[in-house]
């Protein structure tokens, strides 16, 4: 079991409705040892990918992205959320349904911050249905850049995001993949490293 899986078992809380709450170390209070572990994991996993930009989505991805950007010494961009953003001359806009907030969001990045020269590593805290990841991919595509990898702290393995992204050919690395969880018994089951594709 790796450091993040251990942390989820000790400090994560399974909520009714398919939500894993990790506020005490990732989403509200930030545990720097866990953050460093996640950033180190991605740095090693994508060391040969020629990353020149890290892209995430506000808010929870920003902490992971900044630590990773520091290690890789590349700029970090975070997509902003808005209920009303439209495509304009000055920004790229994509759509994502928010699992946790149960609403459609537009996400956008100002045009100068994503370019055709970019080799982008996308990172986020969770991967569930892949809405956020696909919106970020869409923004990079609009700018003419290339997605060279996707790093996720916690993938919820029974939701479709991971399967879709791998089928689409993206290089996806998740630090922990939760295959099942039960809020009644507070059990969390992880996908073993050897069973991953």
DSSP letter at 101 equals: T
Applying CB under 6 A, among 5, 7, 123, 124 the residue interacting with ligand 5GP is 124
Tokens of 183: 């809020």
Binding status of residue 56 toward ligand 5GP by CB under 6 A: no
Binding status of residue 157 toward ligand 5GP by CB under 6 A: no
DSSP letter at 183 equals: T
End-to-end CA distance of the chain: 18
Smallest separation, CB 70 to ligand 5GP (Å): 21
Query: Which 76-105 positions form the footprint of ligand 5GP (CB under 6 A)?
Result: 96, 99-100
Q: Where are the alpha helices (DSSP H) in the chain?
A: 3-11, 32-45, 61-72, 131-143, 161-167
Cβ proximity of 58 and 79 under 8 Å: yes
Smallest separation, CB 164 to ligand 5GP (Å): 10
Applying CB under 6 A, among 7, 34, 55, 60 the residue interacting with ligand 5GP is 60
Smallest separation, CB 65 to ligand 5GP (Å): 12
């Amino acid at each position: 079991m790796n450091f993040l899986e251990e942390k989820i078992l000790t400090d994560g809380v399974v909520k009714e409705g398919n939500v894993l709450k990790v506020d005490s170390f990732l989403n509200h209070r930030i545990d720097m040892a866990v953050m460093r572990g996640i950033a180190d994991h991605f740095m090693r996993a994508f060391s040969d990918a020629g990353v020149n930009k890290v892209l995430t989505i506000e808010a929870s991805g920003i902490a992971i992205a900044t630590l990773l950007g520091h290690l890789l010494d590349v700029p970090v961009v975070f997509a902003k959320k808005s209920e009303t953003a439209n495509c304009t001359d000055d920004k790229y806009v994509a759509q994502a349904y928010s699992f946790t907030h149960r609403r459609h969001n537009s996400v956008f990045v100002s045009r100068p911050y994503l370019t055709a020269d970019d080799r982008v590593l996308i990172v986020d805290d969770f991967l569930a249905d892949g809405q956020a990841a696909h919106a970020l991919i869409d923004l990079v595509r609009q700018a003419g850049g290339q997605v060279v990898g996707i790093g996720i702290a916690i993938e919820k393995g029974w939701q479709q995001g991971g399967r879709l992204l791998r089928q689409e050919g993206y290089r996806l690395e998740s630090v922990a993949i939760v295959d099942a969880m039960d809020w009644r018994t507070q059990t969390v089951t992880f996908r073993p490293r050897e069973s991953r594709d």
